[in-house]
């Protein structure tokens, strides 16, 4: 009898942890709406997220379960989609601010100095423009259907 109680508690803990707000989102995506996301960073975040999901479900790589299957069983979206939603929500919040607020001034600020040689770094504005392009393309494809 004593061996079953901790097992039930662990099962209850796992079912509580399946809530999307618990699975790594609070600490993993802290201030993610302000990040300029590169492809390498996106892949690292997704890999860590899938590692956390696999540990919660006690699924190892030896079991050969795809990440899509794990995400579907836990009801999770890809982190990229969550970050895009947050980024667009933050942009809307800043746009509604008064012009005297620092966040709005920083959003519309263009530096005077020249960029360094080589490929330009990805900025937050670049990430936001990419979000808008994908969002408008998705809206246009839904209109065609």
The string of DSSP codes covering the chain is -TTHHHHHHHHHHHHHHTSTTTSSHHHHTTTGGG----HHHHHHHHHHHHHHHHHHHT--GGG---HHHHHHHHTPPPHHHHHHHHHHHHHHHHHTS-TTSHHHHHHH---SSPPPSSSPPPPHHHHHHHHHHHHHHHHHHHHH-
CA distance 31 to 57: 27
Higher-confidence position of 21 and 77 = 77
pLDDT of 129? 85
| pLDDT exceeds 70 at position 41 | yes
Question: Dihedral through CA 72, CA 78, CA 81, CA 82, nearest 10?
Answer: 90
pTM exceeds cut of 0.85: no
Placement of tokens 């997704």 in the chain = 46
Q: pLDDT per residue over 97-143, tens digit each?
A: 999 999 888 887 877 888 788 888 888 888 888 888 887 887 777 77
Q: Which distant-in-sequence residues (6+ apart) come within 8 Å of 127 by Cβ?
A: 35, 36, 37, 87
Judge whether residue 40 has pLDDT over 80.
yes
pLDDT > 50? residue 11 = no
Decide if pLDDT at 23 tops 60: no
């Amino acid at each position: 009898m004593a061996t079953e109680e901790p097992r039930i508690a662990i099962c209850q803990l796992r079912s509580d942890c399946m809530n999307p707000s618990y699975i790594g989102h609070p600490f993993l995506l802290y201030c993610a709406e302000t990040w300029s996301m590169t492809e390498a960073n996106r892949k690292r975040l997704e890999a860590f997220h899938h590692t956390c999901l696999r540990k919660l479900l006690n699924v190892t790589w030896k079991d050969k379960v795809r990440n899509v299957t794990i995400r579907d069983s836990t009801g999770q979206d890809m982190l990229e989609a969550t970050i895009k939603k947050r980024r667009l929500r933050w942009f809307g919040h800043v746009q509604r601010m008064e012009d005297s607020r620092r966040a709005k001034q920083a959003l519309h600020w263009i530096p005077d100095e020249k960029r360094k040689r080589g490929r330009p770094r990805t900025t937050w504005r670049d990430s936001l423009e990419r979000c808008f392009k994908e969002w408008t393309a998705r809206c246009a494809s839904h209109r065609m259907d």
